[in-house]
Structure 1
Amino acid sequence: MAKTDNDPIIASYDVYLTESEISRYVLQYLDRPAGHAYDDRNGQKPTSFRFKPKTGLVEVDVPINTRVNYDVSKGLRYGEALKKSRSAREGGAYGMAGGFSAGAGGGGGAAAKVKMEADVEMSGMPDPGSGNLMRVQTLGGRIKNAEEGDPVYMLAAFRGKNLHLSPVSAVVQLHPQLHHLDAMDEMPKTGRGKGRKDEDDGRPEPEARTIDVKIKAAEDGEAAMVAGNLDLLKKMQEEKWGKYEWVDAETEESWHIYESYMMHQDEDLEGLPQLESAIESEDYLDKMSAPRIDPARPEMTGWAMKQNRKKHGKQGEGNQDEGQDQDQTQGS
């Protein structure tokens, strides 16, 4: 073998698969630089993590730095709106998590997004006093149901010469949620009729009524899709939030969890069952690559091309056997 290998093997590892029944989620913050994680080191450790497992909704509350590029007057307005909102009083949630209903049910609603702050001192900024300053931003997303053909992601962890792979349950992309704007939209509804001129005095405030919207689609398929979306929003509205404690990545507890759930816990690694490939190399190439085309017969691709090669291979073996028989006849 010529010594011209430009891609030498420099290391090899034994690969082990960890427990697959454990849920592992990867949270992606699309508008956040990689060097500024939401953690205690950067002063933005999440204060709350909420999850609706049936509908796949995820929300994370992260602190807002109110000392840099922060409008205190608007922060007070948004904080007051969230405190007085109907959704917060009824323990509901806004946006998709509440089924796009202002009075949606479900625990851990908008009230958790505002902290009561008093006597706050800010250099160069007005003192908000005892107002309700909005100090928390909510990030939210939804887990996409897995479909056939979706990639399977793994988390890798090294321990010496062993590589431990842990399957990822889902990847969740989190975006800023505008719950404070939804709360502001409620304010005119509750305060309508106040502060008007004399001609408006004494008039009763219109009573808020629930309006049922019925959508009739032109096609049966479209109607089924609309009905499915409405059913999903109803389930989002009815499902309760599950609350979880956020453990910072640099704590001892976090490293203990890492060692417990990212490493294979079987002490006898040598006695573990070996992986066996359920697919041949040629089939693997067909599945991961674009369809292969036979230049001599462009109409034959993929499976048909493979069957054609097998057919010609058998014919070639038969012709070779006939040639050997003829040689033996001539020799005799």
Structure 2
Amino acid sequence: MDSDDDPVVSSYDVFLTDSEVSRYVFQYLDRPKKHPYIEGKGQKPTEMRLKPRSGLVEVDIPISIRQNYDINKGARYGEAMKKSRASRDGGAYGMAGGFSSGNAASSGSRVKSEGQGDIEILDNKKVVDSASIIKTQPLGGRIKPPEEGDPVYMLATFKDKNLHLSPVSAVVQLHPQLHHQDAMEEIPKGRGTKTKKDDDERPAESEARTIDVKIKAAEDGEQTMLATNLDLLKKMQDEKWKSYEWIDAETEEAWYTYENYMTHQQPEDLPQLESAIQGEEYLDAMSAPRIDPAHPEMTGWAMKQNRQKQKDGVSGSEDEAG
């Protein structure tokens, strides 16, 4: 084939960056690409929380209360979050709370306010205490521990004639978390009007507690899996959150981090990679098994050895003839 039919358009030197740095790719499955969570769109995340050992991640996204916002529900859900035991004690819901609402690990209140006790007039109709309105939507997901055979993703960055590849630690899919509904469910339902005498005579209600449910599985394998899942939930619930500040993508600090962790500053000082596999071995590893028509039972390595024997035999015959 004429090389002009497949010309080399450009060539780059490829560099691998530090693999010890953690890099996570967050996927927002219900968010269009043209509406990113950034300061320019008015939805820069206010906080990120992480449970490193169990891999849980939560990101708080601000909610616009000026449009498409139900004031009554916002205030009701906000009050529920403030009064809920899990939020008040620094807890969490869902997987992070072990699917219970008591004695969970610390994450702080989910209710974000612009000022305690501030009064806002919304739609010129309702006067609402801003501290009682729920103003953030948490998105949550889990960092899946890598397993053998999982694909390895890389982040590519071009700088001049150099291509820098950075390994991705994990791809995390974030989904909306309905903690406000969990808080509403936790509030005791009203029982009608009560008198002071009724309150005095009624015994104090016991505090709600987490109940450990033990279920005997039909098979040993199922029982082991169930025990593993319960142990994982307990670890999720017991581990404390670590909070991180969210840096907007267009800030100088973000660009500084990008330059330092996505590219090499002195690529000329890096060692050269040496291939540990030959070209033919590489083709065998990445391709379907090759089959010798003369010996269809032979594929891959066996076929290669047979061809080598044939080649050695031809070379020996030529030497004897000479």
Same fold (TM over 0.5): yes
Pair 1:112 & 2:113 matched: no
Pair 1:45 & 2:44 matched: yes
Per-residue Cα deviation, 1:194-219 (whole angstroms, up to 9, x for no partner): 5379xx88544653454331111111
Pair 1:101 & 2:100 matched: yes
Per-residue Cα deviation, 1:151-180 (whole angstroms, up to 9, x for no partner): 111112121111111111111110000100
Structure 2 portions without partners, runs of 5+: none
Shift in alpha-carbon separation, 1:112–1:130, aligned structure 2, 3 A: closer
Corresponding position of 2:310: 316
Q: CA deviation at 1:124?
A: 6.2
Per-residue Cα deviation, 1:216-244 (whole angstroms, up to 9, x for no partner): 11111111111111111111111111111
Q: CA deviation at 1:123?
A: 3.2
Paired residues, what number? 317
Corresponding position of 1:126: 126
Q: 1:294 aligns with which of 275, 291, 294?
A: 291
Shift in alpha-carbon separation, 1:282–1:185, aligned structure 2, 3 A: farther
Tell me, in whole angstroms, the C-alpha distance in 2 between the residues paired with 1:326 and 1:21. 59
Tell me, in whole angstroms, the C-alpha distance in 1 between the residues paired with 2:74 and 2:281. 59
Please say which of residues 318-327 and 79-88 is displaced more in the overlay. Answer: 318-327
Tell me, in whole angstroms, the C-alpha distance in 1 between the residues paired with 2:60 and 2:269. 45
Corresponding position of 1:65: 64
Corresponding position of 2:31: 32
Which residue identity does 1:305 align to in structure 2? T
Tell me, in whole angstroms, the C-alpha distance in 1 between the residues paired with 2:209 and 2:140. 29
Shift in alpha-carbon separation, 1:84–1:305, aligned structure 2, 3 A: same
Tell me, in whole angstroms, the C-alpha distance in 2 between the residues paired with 1:235 and 1:146. 19
Q: CA deviation at 1:117?
A: 6.7
TM-score by length of 2: 0.88
- Asked if the contact 2:118/2:130 (under 8 Å) is kept, the reply is yes
Corresponding position of 1:135: 135
Q: CA deviation at 1:15?
A: 1.1
Corresponding position of 1:264: 264
Which residue identity does 2:30 align to in structure 1? D
Tell me, in whole angstroms, the C-alpha distance in 2 between the residues paired with 1:125 and 1:63. 23
Structure 1 portions without partners, runs of 5+: none
Tell me, in whole angstroms, the C-alpha distance in 2 between the residues paired with 1:283 and 1:83. 63
- Asked if the contact 1:119/1:130 (under 8 Å) is kept, the reply is yes
Corresponding position of 1:276: 274
Tell me, in whole angstroms, the C-alpha distance in 1 between the residues paired with 2:260 and 2:320. 69
Q: CA deviation at 1:68?
A: 2.2
Per-residue Cα deviation, 1:277-325 (whole angstroms, up to 9, x for no partner): 2333444444444x4363859985xxx6113312321332244135425
Corresponding position of 2:244: 244
Q: CA deviation at 1:126?
A: 3.2
Tell me, in whole angstroms, the C-alpha distance in 1 between the residues paired with 2:295 and 2:216. 47
Tell me, in whole angstroms, the C-alpha distance in 1 between the residues paired with 2:135 and 2:45. 12
Q: Over the residues paired in the alignment, what is the CA RMSD in angstroms?
A: 2.7
TM-score by length of 1: 0.86
Please say which of residues 280-289 and 177-186 is displaced more in the overlay. Answer: 280-289
